[in-house]
Amino acid sequence: MERIEKMKDNIQEYRVRRAETKRDYLTKYKTKVETDFVEQLKILVRNQRYNQTDTSDRKLSNLFMCRLKSSEYTGSYESILGLSCSQPYLDDQKSQLYWRPPYLYDNLDKDMGEVEKYLRKNFIRIEKYELFRLQQQLLYDDWQIWESIIPELAERNREVITHSPLHINDEILVVSGDYMERLKVIGYIKVE
């Protein structure tokens, strides 16, 4: 473990530059990212309408996004995007879909090549599992970037939810985190 931490320290400067570049990249393609997000949101609203009956007293209260750690092993890099009336994991009336946010994980192989170059300057032998652990760190860095833009995307496109026929609370929480872990509130959608 200590060796992995030394390796993380060794690439810290690269991770900071990479995160700035990634933010700029997502800003450059903001329209495409937002369009894709809205398409997924419309699918969720349509699915949620089927799950929510007209007589239901349960109101929509969460927009959630969960990182799937298993997708790091499969290489799909998908996450779960969903709408729920109560607790996302326990709600039997929730709607959710698997989604890979656009541009977020582009160039991961190239980035890992750069990481390996940095490491080769200070480490003679690098194991595959160590590279995988560092890749997981880069993926987590990417997820943090994504978490920082989700609330803005949700708020700017709130009418997709608020102007739908769904029963909605006065405020929708935007929550995020690892799947089946405690989710944290990262934003709100105000319903007018």
Mean pLDDT on 109-119? 96
Mean pLDDT on 106-125? 94
What is the average pLDDT value for the chain, to the nearest integer? 92
Q: How far apart are CA 138 and CA 109, in angstroms?
A: 11
Mean pLDDT on 89-118? 92
- Residue 102 vs residues 1, 127, 174: alpha-carbon distances, Å: 33, 30, 19
How many CB atoms sit inside 10 A of residue 18's CB? 19
Q: How far apart are CA 135 and CA 1, in angstroms?
A: 15
How many CB atoms sit inside 10 A of residue 9's CB? 10
User: Structural domain tally of the chain?
Assistant: 1
Q: How far apart are CA 184 and CA 178, in angstroms?
A: 10
How many CB atoms sit inside 10 A of residue 165's CB? 10
Mean pLDDT on 110-138? 95
User: What pLDDT is stored for residue 102 in this prediction?
Assistant: 85
User: What pLDDT is stored for residue 134 in this prediction?
Assistant: 97
User: What pLDDT is stored for residue 55 in this prediction?
Assistant: 57
Mean pLDDT on 92-114? 92
Tokens of 156: 């700017």
Tokens of 49: 């309408």
Of 87, 86, 137, the residue nearest 111 (C-alpha): 137
User: What pLDDT is stored for residue 7 in this prediction?
Assistant: 96
Which domain range does residue 72 map to? 2-190
Over 90: is that where the pLDDT of 90 sits? no
pLDDT digits (tens, 9 = 90+) for 13-35: 999 999 999 999 998 999 999 99
DSSP for residue 126 = -
pLDDT digits (tens, 9 = 90+) for 140-191: 999 999 999 999 999 999 999 999 989 898 999 999 999 999 999 999 998 8
pLDDT digits (tens, 9 = 90+) for 32-82: 999 999 999 999 999 998 888 765 668 899 999 999 999 999 999 999 999
When mean pLDDT is compared across 86-90, 126-130, 155-159, the lowest value belongs to 86-90
- Residue 1 vs residues 4, 8, 135: alpha-carbon distances, Å: 5, 11, 15
